[in-house]
Amino acid sequence: MSRRYDSRTTIFSPEGRLYQVEYAMEAIGNAGSAIGILSKDGVVLVGEKKVTSKLLQTSASTEKMYKIDDHVACAVAGIMSDANILINTARVQAQRYTYAYQEPMPVEQLVQSLCDTKQGYTQFGGLRPFGVSFLFAGWDKNYGFQLYMSDPSGNYSGWKAAAIGSNNQAAQSMLKQDYKDEITREEAVQLALKVLSKTMDSTSLTSEKLELAEVFLSNGKVKYQVCSPGALSKLLVKFGVTQPAADAS
C-alpha cells in the first residue's frame, strides 16, 4: 500500500488516487444509510438512525434530515459533526444568494456551491476532507423537483433515486429495479421504506430507527415536512415493513 501518500490530503498517489478522499468515503460506508427518491409531485428522503436510545430527547431535532432553506432540505450520512459545519455553510450560501438577488437560490447552484467548498479540502489547505455524503432535495422554478447526491470529493450529480451510507450499493441496485419514472410521492415513500427495511442491519423496523421527510408543493409554496413518529409507525404498518427484515415482503 502506498502509505507514504496517505497523510497529506492534497497530493495524488502514484496510481492517481486521493487516499484521504477514499478513506472519507469509507467512513461514510459505516454510517447510517439514507435514501432519496424523486417523484413527480415531490422528493422523499428516508434515513436510518444509528443513535437510538430511550434516553434521547427526540422532540425537535433530527439526526439525518436538515432544512437548508425554505425550498431545499438534505439528508446526511457520515460524521455528524462534519455534517453540521457543511449544513451551516450551505445555509449561509443560500441566504447570501437571496440577499443579493431577492430570490431563492436554484437548487443545483446551492449544491454546486457547497461541493466547491468540499473540493477545496481535497486540493489545498492541508486539512482533511469532510466525512459526509449528502442527498439534497429541493424545488425551484427552473427545474421543478430535484434530487442531488454529493460526496467528500466534491462531486455531485442529479438522481431520480439514490442511496448513501451503509449498504448503499445494495440499496441503489434495489432502487434501480423498482423505480418507475412516473412514480407518485406516496409510491416513493413506500419504495423508500421497503428498500431501507431490506438493507438495514437491524432485525426489526420501528419508527424510532427511521426518519422520513418529504419536499412537496402545497398552495404553490414549497413545504418540507418531517414525518412524526406516530404517522411513521402507521406508514410502516400500512406498507407491511414492520416485520423483521428477514420476513419483509
Footprint of another protein (CB under 8 A): 99-103, 106, 108-109, 141-142
Q: How far apart are CA 136 and CA 130, in angstroms?
A: 16
30 versus 95: smaller Cβ distance to another protein: 95
124 versus 143: smaller Cβ distance to another protein: 143
Please state the closest distance from residue 97 (CB atom) to another protein, in A: 9
Please state the closest distance from residue 103 (CB atom) to another protein, in A: 5
Q: How far apart are CA 37 and CA 30, in angstroms?
A: 21
- Strand segments, DSSP code E, in 171-244 are 210-218, 221-226
Between strands 42-48 and 221-226, the pairing is: unpaired
Residue 235 neighbours by CB under 8 Å, 6+ apart: 189, 193, 212, 227
104 versus 152: smaller Cβ distance to another protein: 104
Please state the closest distance from residue 93 (CB atom) to another protein, in A: 14
Please state the closest distance from residue 137 (CB atom) to another protein, in A: 19
Q: How far apart are CA 181 and CA 109, in angstroms?
A: 24
Q: Look at residues 114, 194, 192 and name the one whose alpha carbon lies nearest to residue 159.
A: 192
109 versus 233: smaller Cβ distance to another protein: 109
47 versus 106: smaller Cβ distance to another protein: 106
Please state the closest distance from residue 143 (CB atom) to another protein, in A: 9
Amino acid at 64: K
